[in-house]
Chains A and B, each alone.
Chain A
């Protein structure tokens, strides 16, 4: 048997699927050879972006760059290779009283991926993007050279790489800051909102909370449009915790992991089942307001508890559509978006609403701008492209943009905030699609 590195590769949405070369290496020398020997290369982490962002002609998988380099336990500064997962960082950091400043909704992304997407979390309004806490990283450039990028040296590359979707080179290692925590638990409040007006009011009232996010039932129409549950949270101090959590406040018990064993048949997820799910989810919380303490995994990463949950969407796959609409027209824009979705009948199983704070001007390739962002999962079917076109038109009308990490079929004008990444070496299928769509 001779190795053949051509294989089927797809990201989390299982759409699109391509047959391309994928290889991984842990020796920097061999990575250099790989870069020099191929015309078009793109780095790929754990494949948790949804669309075609990390797909290309020759894919370099960073999964073997999975070592820690240093951990300054006094100052909470950690350095690791780019293929280390955020979950692995947390495994080390949490028992020592540290947490990631910024985390996306899954801990199964790599550190390199977090930089390339400049991920945001439930705390964007208060603490910004991942890039704010990165001290420096090492980048392999087109000619195989390894350069160190920070705010002081190679600053142009530093900022272009933040949210640069891997188009500036291969991130090899990264050093970043962690935040102090006293416990592995979150003091959470969940509040039900009956409609869009109420949820927007709640977001604005909750601005002093570090973490806020809302789950939204996107199949409601008329006066119920925007029916949702707001969740806000703070890292719990030890003295706040209930007795049962004080014994080992920085350690969590191992949880039972659910596994989706195979791709669900296409008919399982349809307008009716999504409606039932959303109805039950909203009704599960009987009181208007619930205050409790939950562990960080449940608060930040509820979906990580279901291994391979992407298979629920069947073999045709799904897309995630995440857009942001500037704050001044946020409510009006969201209303139109939700109306369009409800009218299409193409329900989203999971719809998450958030308020972004001010953007960091220096990190110009980052997705967030001040405004409301909505993330929606849609199963891929024949009607989907039409809905995406409709949604794109609304986002455009209000001057919004679409998140490159989630994008797989949007208009290029909504993803063209990406700058200073032109390279003949580092090329992704997504970037080609965006450029050719002009």
Chain B
């Protein structure tokens, strides 16, 4: 399994869930921008599941040397890369913040995704799971830079799914909704709408087993977003969402 964004609690919980379910991997490749904590996760996998894992340093904001990834082959790719940035008014007009959000969630991420997608395509097998966001379903004033990058990522996954369909590679788009993770720590979230990482991982694993196309982590988000998508624009623009 290839994991992009390995410090993500959902990614880690997903890896553990898959191993608990008895999935076997020759090796798990953990891509991360935080080597210290990811190395601890790799050791954890070894202790708990006797599973070999390799930590690969990756900073999307720097030039990527793809030749270092030549040896990496797998039939599952899990992408949990995400950066929420600062969604406030100051954040909106801070160009560094804006660039970083767009680069990490989309611009710099897609070439890397394509690199692995090509490997999957040539092997004619595998599953690519991408964590997008409900924020990409409709731009809202509270975080539309992040939302627009995730909307682009959602569109990319949708196109990729279409493109790889007859090449026997499956692509799953996950739209998590609120999750209790580092990204949302300290935010006042409604517990009924918020998934814990383990709960999210179980939901994603289920979507993986059933080879779903698009899945919300908590079903309630499917309903919420359907409503939000269908509010007429002349009303929507006046709402404080």
Known: A67-B43, A67-B44. 19 other contacts (CB 8 A): A1-B87, A1-B187, A3-B187, A4-B186, A4-B187, A5-B185, A5-B186, A23-B185, A24-B185, A26-B7, A26-B40, A28-B36, A64-B9, A67-B41, A68-B47, A68-B48, A69-B47, A70-B43, A80-B47
In the complex, what residues of B have CB within 8 A of residue A81's CB? 40
Give the chain A neighbours of B87 by CB distance below 8 A: 1
CA distance A397 to B55 in the complex (A): 61
Where the two chains meet, the residues of A that have a C-beta atom closer than 8 Å to any C-beta of B are 1-5, 23-24, 26-29, 64, 67-71, 80-81, 92
Question: B residues near A, CB below 8 A?
Answer: 7, 9, 34, 36-37, 40-41, 43-44, 47-48, 87-88, 142-143, 182, 185-188
Q: What separation, in Å, do the CA atoms of A1 and B140 have in the docked complex? A: 12
Inside 8 A of A26's CB, which chain B residues have their CB?
7, 37, 40
A92's closest neighbor in chain B, by CB? B48
Of A4, A28, A71, which one neighbours B188 at CB under 8 angstroms?
A4
B34→A70 contact, CB < 8 A: no
Which of A4, A23, A27 lies in contact with B37, CB distance below 8 A? A27
The reply to whether B43 and A2 form a contact with Cβ atoms under 8 Å apart is no
B186 touches A92 (CB 8 A): no
Assuming the contacts A27-B34, A27-B37, asked whether A70 and B47 have C-beta atoms less than 8 A apart, the reply is: yes
Once bound together, how far apart are the Cα atoms of A4 and B185, in whole Å?
A: 8
Set of chain B residues within 8 Å of A92, measured between Cβ atoms: 47-48
CB-CB nearest 8 A-B residue pairs: A3-B186, A67-B44, A68-B47, A5-B186, A68-B44, A71-B47, A67-B40, A26-B37
Name the residue on A nearest B9 (C-beta): A64
A69 touches B43 (CB 8 A): yes
Residues in B neighbouring A5, C-beta threshold 8 A: 185-186
A-B contact pairs, 13 of them (CB 8 A): A1-B87, A1-B143, A2-B88, A3-B187, A4-B186, A5-B186, A23-B185, A27-B36, A67-B43, A68-B43, A70-B43, A92-B47, A92-B48
* Nearest-CB residue, chain B, relative to A5: B186
Closest B residue, CB atoms, query A22? B186
Most A CB contacts (10 A, CB to CB) among B43, B48, B186 go to B186
A191 to chain B minimum Cβ distance, whole angstroms, is 40
Contacts of B40 in A (CB 8 A): 26, 67, 69, 81
Interface-central residue, B40, B43, B87, B187, by most chain A CB under 10 Å: B40
Docked CA distance A261–B9 (Å) = 26
